[in-house]
Amino acid sequence: MSNLEHTTPTNNYQEILEKYDKESVTKSVKSQWQKYIITIIAVAYSLFHLYITFYPMPTLLQRALHVGIGALLIFLIYPASKKYSKNGIMWFDWILGILALITAGYLCYEYEALMTTRGGIPNENDIIFAIITTLIVIEAARRLTGYVLIIFALLFLLYPFISSMDFMPDRLLTRYYDIGDIFGQLYLKTEGLYSSAIGASVSFIFLFILFGAFLAKSGMGKLFNDLALALAGSRQGGPAKVAVISSGFMGSINGAAVANVVSTGAFTIPLMKKIGYQPNFAGAVEASASVGGQILPPIMGASAFIMAETTGVKYSTIALAALLPALLYYISVIAQVHFRAGRRNLKGLAKDQLPQLKLVMKERGHMFIPIIALIVFLIESVPVGYAATYTILITIAISWLRKETRMGVKEIIEALEDGAKQSLPVMAACAVVGIIIGVVNLTSFGTVMTSYIVTFGAGSLLLTLILTMLASIVLGMGLPSIPAYIITATMAAPALADFNIPLLVSHMFVFYFGIFANITPPVALASFAGAGIAGGDPMKTGWQSLRLALAGFIIPFIFVYNPSMLMIDIHNAAITANSFPLPAISEIISVCITSILGVIGLSAAVEGYFKHNINPVFRVILAIGSVLLISPEFISDIIGIVILAVMLLINLKQKA
């Protein structure tokens, strides 16, 4: 179909992925029987989640089994350290895996007595198993996420042991907690290791990751790449636009920014460099597009499901609220690559090198049906777990329409296995963050942190927002996006409630900045991975990514001050309501038009180019007018339109 297959370079992309993404460092298992055991457990793990979707167990038990079986798989698949990665499954991995199963089994065995006879009060055996489970979760998470999250968890775990001691500041001083209080909270309740974060992982996230695995087996990645090439490949700066479109689609489904940079960037970055984009810029385009997938409906990676579980707001409502900000972000990135191509006179690819849209849709276009079905299910308020399961079945059925996408028994088993394996990083992160949630619930530490943020904010909403943004970015630099969101949502987002910011808006605010930490120097892992593929400078690529994502740093402030950008009438609904009414259609249309014009103008100001170069003074004026347009207020819109029109007319009249 295309001549582009020969343009992919032969660099060791797996090495780049492992350097910046700890989740990709897996064992080299050579024993065939060990491979079979891993496959059997992984497939059973997926089938277990499909089963409990329709026949649920008691909440505590299904969460415990989710963690126990998942931890077993982690110990079998992920090495204790890189030096063990080539040695296969070690003896201590088997011991840890079996212990993980035993701790979940113990809870199942003791559940009835715990809930009735003992009334949830831990005995000596409960405490022993609680300590073992906590240590297992910490080790499993360490293998997948590194040490930063573990240090956070251990510091929080230490707090209730010392919080009643005399040397603690007054605000941090609490009553005395014994070991039964602490580990009973973590192990025997749904407020610790088995918190709402794990609840979201069990009920929603796993199934959508599994859905993504089935889409991948049907060739969805090739569909996204070929469709993007057919639509934008021949345009001005075509390969960069292809990177933005395909990475956005893939990022929404898989939610793994670094892995997405490497998988799609292996194809798109060489093409961008081929037509003249500089390595730093090419890597930055891929990084900013991949990271943005987590704010792009309908799936939005994994964090949105945890937001739904945490806030009590329906997932479909969250997806609707996220739609316009996500589109504005991607329009901004595409506009910047377009203006950069215009300034440097970078053309697209020759049409004879590109797939034809008609053939792409004929061969693989039917694979959009499962995604459309998912959107319909969510709009119709079908329970999210049911919607994901139905969509998996639809994906299998629809794949049979064409030979190119047909899934047989082998592909279905591989998808079940891949989905289970891909869910493990989310499970581990959610479980270890449960330590933090458990301690916060036990000690009211979150209230203390909220009071500190409010105190430092000195009664200013803007200053409080900036402090919350910085906290989210700092946490996101060292943590995966899920734990970064959970921690900031637990401790920072409540501070915004003092300013009467609706719950959904405050959570969306911290959600954005926790995600964009992946491209914020000095620790910008997605950007560093893009630089590794492009052969660019990691730090320069990080700063370039930040520049491309500028709209993503402005938009959250805008929707805090004016939530109409979220396209839901929050002001006329309860703060914690399960659904929100739509504002007037005219208001939605007005917000969409002015915001789109604003991000295009902002992109032109950032690049210093529209149809011709823009001088520095006019760039500043254009940027101010564009931000006024993005802010959905009538007066600011009028001023912004006037400024934008004047600046662009001046530019159009310049000589070439």
Write the pLDDT tens digit of every residue in 551-579: 889 999 988 887 878 877 654 444 444 55
Structural domain boundaries in the chain: 13-194, 201-430+473-581, 584-655
Rounded Cα distance between 275 and 353, Å, is: 13
> What stretch of H or E contains 101?
helix 91-115
Q: Using one digit for the tens of pLDDT, what is the confidence trace for 317-363? A: 888 888 899 999 999 999 999 999 998 888 888 888 788 888 889 88
Residue 7 clears pLDDT 60, i.e. is over it? no
> pLDDT confidence of 3, banded at 50, 70, 90?
very low
Q: Using one digit for the tens of pLDDT, what is the confidence trace for 48-105? A: 999 999 999 999 999 999 999 999 999 999 998 877 777 788 999 999 999 999 999 9
> What stretch of H or E contains 502?
none
- How large a percentage of the chain has pLDDT more than 70? 94
Between residues 523 and 361, the one the model is more confident about: 361
Contact predicate 215/369, CB 8 Å: no
Contacts of residue 201, Cβ cutoff 8 Å, sequence gap at least 6: 66, 302, 306, 423, 426, 427, 430
In this structure, what DSSP letter does residue 56 have?
Answer: P
Between residues 194 and 84, the one the model is more confident about: 194
> Cis peptide before 270, with omega less than 30 degrees from 0?
no
Determine the pLDDT at residue 579: 53
- What pTM value is reported for the model? 0.85
Determine the pLDDT at residue 478: 65
Determine the pLDDT at residue 4: 46
Distances (CA, A) of 482 to 286, 472, 475, 488: 21, 11, 11, 10
Alpha-carbon dihedral sign for residues 90, 259, 39, 199: positive
Rounded Cα distance between 451 and 575, Å, is: 21
Of 604, 537, 594, nearest in space to 562 by CA: 594
Contact predicate 619/608, CB 8 Å: yes
Mean pLDDT of the chain: 86
Contacts of residue 195, Cβ cutoff 8 Å, sequence gap at least 6: 430, 433, 434, 437, 438
> What stretch of H or E contains 148?
helix 147-162
> pLDDT confidence of 623, banded at 50, 70, 90?
very high
Q: 114 has which bridge partners? A: none
> pLDDT confidence of 302, banded at 50, 70, 90?
low
> pLDDT confidence of 8, banded at 50, 70, 90?
very low
Between residues 31 and 571, the one the model is more confident about: 31
Distances (CA, A) of 471 to 61, 480, 484, 510, 582: 34, 14, 10, 9, 32
Which two tokens mark 72? 């077993």
Of 180, 146, 158, nearest in space to 24 by CA: 146
Residue 582 clears pLDDT 60, i.e. is over it? no
| pLDDT (mean) for 139-162 | 91
Contact predicate 107/84, CB 8 Å: no
